[in-house]
Structure 1
């Protein structure tokens, strides 16, 4: 009788089993006989050792899954893990607070000036060209306050000193200036006569030219005329906030073909403010601000005035608010019971990361600092305008007190001239006044209409007249103008 293969018998044990299958009647077959129909290519389980391909693939898959779990972390966890690599920032640490406030102080000059490389290189190239050609020249830097004019000028001075030391050496001793005469008079006397061979070029830097504006404009005129004298070797670099100062107060320069080269410093944008703040904070070994907090500060400052000094002031104010919050024991208990239970269940590393985040300057700190700094962005903008633009706004306020909503530039010019005469200030022409009205229109303070002739253009206030009065009433000059 043929042998039937059991469950544990080999599937390739006996070749005569195939014959036995055919000889067994159909009705007499057992259910276990179906095992004999399996293909003879199937191997015995005893050959499936641990080193088989199936087990190695399974091990590789498990290894890949572990690697993916380690790599697939959220962006926030990555940032927090990077934060842990730095020393821990503690707003209660007096030394750390001092270092942060010092880094964000206006008087702290950064090692490199960012976002002003183009203007800085143009100034440096201008000075080098004058020295190489042994030719006098003048350059005028203008822009709103806090746009980096004086800071970039300091870096240019350092670069020029290094460059001059390389090409000239230290062989020529400097003469002591004559203290009995003014510096301007000394230069005028020097350049009115022929200079001996080998005389060095002199670099004159005049910052805050706005304060040199006098009734007869003599000081500014004589200063720029230094570069036109027959034996002049003077390089004059003037810095002021007024964009059209050279055109308004030195009209003779253009006729004498000595109009200065003008470099305009535009207000900082949001991205530039973020870059400058990050550059200052990068020198610290710990992270102080959340990225969203810096972005909020930069966005608000750029929309208001683009004044970098304001941005630094807001950041310092936010630091002080965080400092006061951490020193107050009540404010440290603001977490709910559920949050404390979750913190106990989390690993120690997660708790450390959360503490670091809570110690950073957050959006609410910056928002409070902005609210404290900017009572009204319009008021801040008006206070930073040049004097004649402020007089135009005073004239517009007086003109619209009778209930008028708009007027023409020609009619506004009449009120402007009357205000200037009452204060003994020389007025500008109507062409220059129209140009300043366009500047005020770009800043969102005035609204100009369309016309071929400037004096026929309609003009109206886009801001509340009360904001103009509030911004200028602290100065007696403008208080008298508004009466």
Structure 2
């Protein structure tokens, strides 16, 4: 490589030039060897500087200025401008902070978490179920034949919202295919005065009620209409019957007649029933199968932890700020998924956590922004998933609740499983003194304990003297402490030393 050495005019080894680069001679460049060496030293110092572009971009070659192959030209600019041009689309913009003291922002959060709010991002985590329902409706419309489908699942699993989205998809698909768009009718069975009124609503949709048919019931008119080609309607009708449990529990004949409408020769009804009764297949499908009107069954399973978390985050995407700690949402999702898998309950818990956070702002002088934390979510969840005994404790009169606190104080840090009525009375009096609540007399105290014994909270033994009667706790101490969690008064009662 003698030509390269003569071109650099320097004894120091030079960097390998780009295969496409042409190295000019010093004479052609109008420079001297000393000036070229000075420029190389200056470039080397610049490359070692922390402000050099090589520190701003991981793709910047250490051989800056040497014609390195593939080095982008924009790196010759300022480091900040180069970073912005190269990584502006990759570095996420910092989200603005939530101002919970802004009424408009707080209202937007509550609306995003409301059950009645339809998420703008669409329904997530139910793609497979929606696809199956859509394919069923699509086949019925294409073949111009009637059909029945039963959608079941636990409450809050997205059944109604999914079917509503499928209806829109069917109409859009029919328009794109140039086919006649089917009519649709939605009926909520809880709004029916009589279960048989459902046939009148279907008949009204076809708009064929005639005076001559006044002697026939709506069901009979529908049956006659679907039995003759001349009277059969031309357009398909998609009938969505929500809360079908009402028909199941009230009148099984109505349920059977409804599904049988789809078996008539010239029927144009696409029937989709929605209910919470998952066991319909065991109770009613054998009968419907014998009548040749067995529906296709699609079950919506309870939401999993990941699905609940995903849905909550999708709903919050419409906001420009972070509202919850990620750990708080995960905690809510885990708890609800383990209990019921009800998405409506999860949204209710999140709204409750926001309200608890909002009420805490009124007691705080801190004007800085914050988010809903794990502790807020913990309180909200404890209110929703209370055991039955906890709700019963909260319904007791105050002095009986204080007696339970005295029992908890007596046994919480003691290995003893029983005490006497006299010792329990001393603990009760100490609680009343510290909380400045007038204590009741011994006779009334004994009567309160007898009432609590009758309700199963404690057990009283027998003795000639009331003070010596044996007292044992029949419920867990954790139920007592959990019931009074968040109440300053009773938390103070539970702090009292045992006797």
Query: What TM-score results when the alignment is normalised by the length of structure 1?
Result: 0.55
Q: 5 Å matches for 1:317-328?
A: 317-328=352-363
Offset at residue 226 of structure 1 (A): 1.1
Corresponding residue for residue 229 of structure 1:
264
| Counterpart-to-counterpart distance in 2, 1:64 and 1:230 | 78
Tell whether the 8 Å contact from 1:220 to 1:250 is kept in structure 2 after alignment. no
Counterpart of 2:207 in structure 1 is 176
How far did 1:285 drift? Answer: 2.0
Task: Give yes or no for the alignment of 1:105 onto 2:114.
Answer: yes
Q: Deviations over 1:45-91 (max 9, x none)?
A: xx7998365554343132368538999xxxxxxxxx967443x3111
Q: Deviations over 1:171-210 (max 9, x none)?
A: 9xx8536497876554333213334587112211111111
Q: Structure 1 residues 97 and 195, CA, compared in 2 at 3 Å: closer, same or farther?
A: farther
Matching of residues 72-471 of structure 1 within 5 Å: 84-86=94-96, 88-111=97-120, 112-165=122-175, 166-168=178-180, 176=207, 178=209, 184-195=219-230, 199-214=234-249, 217-329=252-364, 332=366, 355-356=368-369, 359-376=370-387
CA distance in 2, matches of 1:297, 1:377: 21
User: Helix, strand or coil: the match of 2:179?
Assistant: helix
1:10-29 CA deviation, whole Å, 9 max, x = no partner?
A: xxxxxxxxxxxxxxxxxxxx
1:390 is matched with none
Contact 2:134-2:166 within 8 A present in 1 as well: yes
Distance change >3 Å, CA 65–CA 327, structure 1 → 2: farther
Q: What is the root-mean-square deviation in Å for CA atoms of aligned residues? A: 3.6
Cα deviation, residue 216, structure 1: 5.4
Q: Map Cα deviations across residues 308-350 of structure 1 (whole Å, 9 max, x no partner).
A: 00110011011111111112235x39xxxxxxxxxxxxxxxxx
Report the CA distance shift for 1:93/1:377 in structure 2 as closer, same or farther (over 3 A).
farther
> With structure 2 as the length reference, what TM-score do the two structures score?
0.54
| C-alpha distance in 1 between matches for 2:217 and 2:133 | 27
Shift of 1:230: 2.6
Aligned residues: 302
Q: What is the SS of the residue equivalent to 1:272?
A: helix
- Structure 1 pair 311–326 and aligned structure 2 pair: CA distance change class (3 A): same
Question: 5+ unaligned residues in a row in structure 2: which ranges?
Answer: 1-33, 59-78, 81-90, 184-204, 392-475, 480-499
8 Å Cα contact 1:143/1:149 also seen in 2: yes
Q: Cα gap change, 1:169/1:65 in structure 2, threshold over 3 Å: closer, same or farther?
A: closer
Q: Deviations over 1:348-373 (max 9, x none)?
A: xxxxxxx44xx111111111111111
What's the counterpart of residue 384 of structure 1?
none
Structure 1 residues 183 and 287: CA distance shift in structure 2, 3 A: farther
In 2, distance between residues paired with 1:368 and 1:182?
55
Name the CA distance, whole Å, in 1 between partners of 2:144 and 2:305. Answer: 41
Q: Which residue of 2 aligns with 1:60?
A: 47
Distance in 2 separating the partners of 1:139 and 1:253: 12
Determine the C-alpha separation between the residues in 1 that align with 2:127 and 2:313.
Answer: 17
* Alpha-carbon spacing, 1:186–1:293, altered in 2? closer, same or farther (3 Å): farther
**Residue equivalent to 2:12:** none
- How far apart, in 2, do the equivalents of 1:54 and 1:147 lie? 70
Distance 2:388 2:259 in 1: 36
Structure with higher Rg: it is: 1
